[in-house]
Amino acid sequence: MSTKAMSQDLFADKRMGFFIYLGVEAIMFSTLFATYIIYTPAPVGPHPSEIFEMKTTVLASIFLLSSSGTIFIAEKGLDKRSTKMIIAGIIFTFLLGATFMYFEMHEFHKFIKEGHLISTSNFLSSYYVLVGLHASHVVFGLGWMIILLIQLKKQPFQLFKEKHKVFIYYWHFVDIIWVFIISIVYAPYLL
């Protein structure tokens, strides 16, 4: 019997638990998608097609979706136990995620400057709650990556691997939610 049995058992527990947690988050997001669909477009305030910008959305999407690819470098590194690949993968992903956040902030900032606030219309309220919750997930993920880099140095590799894997699931999940945001929030009013 392999001595890795303990960490494998506990990792399998954790993976199942985390997948269920992501299911919980998926239900939360679907409730917000429903809210957005119900209230958009609103009878008052700007129409979504007047304020969404193709350029920002496309650039943000390119950066976030490609970060799901770079995280594979880190995952490869985990399997090969190559610290270099892990660090490189995390840093690339971090930079791409941070760039996504730049565009996200740019969009929020622009809306607020133009006077499109939470209280302007129900379309904007549900937009801010939904996209804002997703953005806060990305920010949380960025912080998580910094912590992972420190954990890599400090924690037993098997435990680090487990934590890193869980992060990878999280990051893919955040990406999938973004795909839904593109197709439900932006696409109907941009195309």
Q: Which residues bind other proteins (CB under 8 A)?
A: 1, 3-10, 12-14, 16-17, 20-21, 23-25, 27-28, 31-32, 35, 38-39, 42-44, 117-119, 121-122, 125-126, 129, 143, 147, 150-151, 154-159, 163
Q: Tell me how far apart the terminal alpha carbons of the chain are, to the nearest angstrom.
A: 58
| Integer Cα distance of 163 and 157 in angstroms | 10
| CB of 64 vs other proteins, minimal distance in Å | 23
Among residues 28 and 179, whose Cβ is nearest to other proteins?
Answer: 28
| CB of 59 vs other proteins, minimal distance in Å | 28
| CB of 28 vs other proteins, minimal distance in Å | 4
| Integer Cα distance of 155 and 142 in angstroms | 20
* Region for residue 128 given its phi and psi (left: phi exceeds 0; alpha: psi -120 to 50; beta: otherwise): alpha
Among residues 99 and 151, whose Cβ is nearest to other proteins?
Answer: 151
Among residues 14 and 106, whose Cβ is nearest to other proteins?
Answer: 14
Q: What phi and psi values does residue 53 have, to the nearest 5 degrees?
A: -120, 125
* Helical H segments across the chain, by residue range: 5-39, 48-51, 54-80, 83-113, 122-154, 157-181, 187-190
Among residues 12 and 187, whose Cβ is nearest to other proteins?
Answer: 12
| CB of 6 vs other proteins, minimal distance in Å | 4
